[in-house]
Amino acid sequence: MAEQDFTSSENPRCILLKDVRSALKPDELGVDIATIAIPAAMALTADPIASLIDTAFIGQIGPVELAAVGVAIALFNQISRIAIFPLVSVTTSFVAEEDAMRRAGRLDFEEDDLSSKHSEKKMLIPEKGLGEKMPSLEPEKGLEVGVVSQGKKQIASAPSALIIGGILGILQAVFLITTARPLLSFMGVKYGSEMSTPAEHYLKLRSLGAPAVLLSLAMQGVFRGLKDTKTPLYATVSGDVANIILDPIFIFVLKMGVRGAATAHVISQYLIALILFWRLQAQVDLLSPSLEYLQLGRFIKNGFQLLTRVIAVTFCVTLAASLAARLGSIEMAAFQVCLQVWLASSLLADGLAVAGQAILASAFARKDYNRASATAARVLQLGIVLGLCLAVMLGFGLHFGARIFTQDANVLHLIGVGIPFVALTQPINSMAFVFDGVNFGASDFAYTAYSMVVVAIASITALFFLSSAYGFVGIWIALTFYMSFRAFAGFWRIGTATGPWEFLRS
């Protein structure tokens, strides 16, 4: 194994400086990262860009509709993240680990061997060698990962992810449709207000696409684990192009207004899901031989840990949107534009996070710690470079591009106030996202969950205090603190060489 080859006399806190001169070098590792990260980043930003286009079209209707849809989108996205993030993150790591073992010869780990309990000990696979069948299966059901069914790979995590994704998608749709009014009221859109009707119409219609969204993201997690980020990119772009074409038709030609924007978005999501399923079933056996083979237990176990984390993240961002909505429709409209740009640009760093997670999960499964430390250092260095580039581009670009979203002078003024926060926080945001991917690649789900709860408590306190004292500006100051806390929490785990990163002390 590569474990004994790892030596380090460096301080773990200096990992950001490890081979820093090679950060942009197109070597084997650099090419691997780029091959995964670039398509992943493009796919991740495609949907926020489509939402930005939705926002631009709706902004032409009026500031009230823009603010109303802004609240509905924020609510839908944050509720979706509660289910999506744990599902995709766990799927990516599990599929990458299974695929690494498939390439090694046989799948030889038990259900618990991929859990966070063993990630603390860096025991992602047992010390049994590669010649045994899965202990959790009966002999006649032993799964040789090298064996395929009708030319398809047998990876237990793939059908498991689709089953869980489909169930969660249906539950989310039912929940949002039946509770749309009280949820919007919590967000500051009181029933009977000018924003109430368009926000409720948009949210209920868009919720019909929740099953497609969850299934699509589950399948994207499978493709990421297989280090294929091009297929999700093609599917996402196809769906979003359809959305862009249908938006003006439904909104203006058919005069459906915000309902048209929601309908176009739902159609595009089902198109994406169909394309991904068509491509996935051609590569992976999705008809599992037994429930035991599915191993749903490890999905649920690790998923619940990440669920805690996502609820904390979701509450922070949703609370920020709610506080902005309570300031008025002008403030909410400006906040919506700034938030969409902030998230869309920051998600470019998620491409690096996906690459880091997939490569690290494979490296940890093989106990190749040289590869693990080199990958972590490289993606973090690239994250800093990306964040600085985004800061410069947004600092200049958003000043000139704000009129794409609205012509209202008051909204434009507040967007100008938010631009420095959107631009200057990009390096911090990039580091926060990349650290997430690095720790997920180490299957360190427990730490990421508990540390985010602490971050959320501090951030929520800052949001209430600063929004009360400084209004719109206070909300953005608090969001800056929030992303800074997230980045620091991610760095702390590696910097202290604890958990799965203990090997850095070797």
Q: Where are the domains of the chain?
A: 15-505
Q: Quick one: pLDDT at residue 292?
A: 54
Q: Quick one: pLDDT at residue 13?
A: 62
Q: Quick one: pLDDT at residue 105?
A: 58
Phi, psi of 149 (to 5 degrees): -105, 115
CA distance 485 to 131: 45
CA distance 328 to 409: 15
Q: Quick one: pLDDT at residue 222?
A: 92
Q: Quick one: pLDDT at residue 147?
A: 44
Q: Quick one: pLDDT at residue 132?
A: 36
Listed residue (361, 376, 374) closest to 443, CA to CA? 361
Cα 427 from chain centroid?
18
Q: Which two tokens stand for residue 251?
A: 């909104």
User: Long-range contacts of range 404-411, CB-CB < 8 Å, 24 or more positions apart?
Assistant: 404/56, 405/52, 405/55, 405/56, 405/59, 405/66, 405/337, 406/59, 406/63, 406/66, 406/333, 406/337, 407/59, 408/63, 408/330, 408/333, 410/330, 411/63, 411/66, 411/330, 411/333, 411/334, 411/337
CA distance 432 to 369: 22
> Of how many residues is the chain composed?
506
CA distance 438 to 24: 18
Listed residue (247, 240, 225, 282) closest to 42, CA to CA? 240
pTM of full prediction above 0.85: no
* Reduced 3-state DSSP string for 201-217: HHHHHHHCCHHHHHHHH
The answer to whether 76 touches 208, Cβ cutoff 8 Å, is: no
Phi, psi of 153 (to 5 degrees): -75, 145
Q: pLDDT by residue for the chain (506 residues), tens digit each?
A: 444 444 444 566 666 667 777 777 888 888 898 899 888 888 776 766 777 777 778 888 888 888 888 888 878 877 887 777 777 888 888 888 888 877 665 444 444 444 444 444 433 333 333 333 333 333 333 333 444 555 678 787 888 889 888 998 999 999 999 999 999 988 888 888 888 899 999 999 999 999 999 999 899 999 998 989 999 999 999 998 999 899 999 999 998 988 999 999 999 999 999 999 999 998 888 875 555 566 667 777 777 777 788 788 878 888 898 898 888 888 888 888 888 788 777 777 888 898 999 999 888 888 888 888 889 989 999 999 999 999 998 888 877 777 777 778 888 888 889 888 999 999 999 999 999 889 988 888 889 888 999 999 999 999 999 999 999 999 999 999 999 999 999 888 888 888 898 888 76
Per 3-state DSSP, the chain is made up of helix, strand and coil in percentages (nearest 5) of 80, 0, 20
Q: Quick one: pLDDT at residue 466?
A: 94
Question: Residue 290: what residue type?
Answer: S
**For 248-304, what is each residue's pLDDT tens digit?**
999 999 989 889 999 999 999 999 999 999 999 988 888 755 555 666 677 777 777
**For 403-438, what is each residue's pLDDT tens digit?**
777 778 888 888 889 888 999 999 999 999 999 889
Contacts of residue 276, defined as CB under 8 A and 6 or more positions apart, other chains included, come to: 215, 216, 219, 220, 223, 231, 232, 235
CA distance 332 to 70: 7
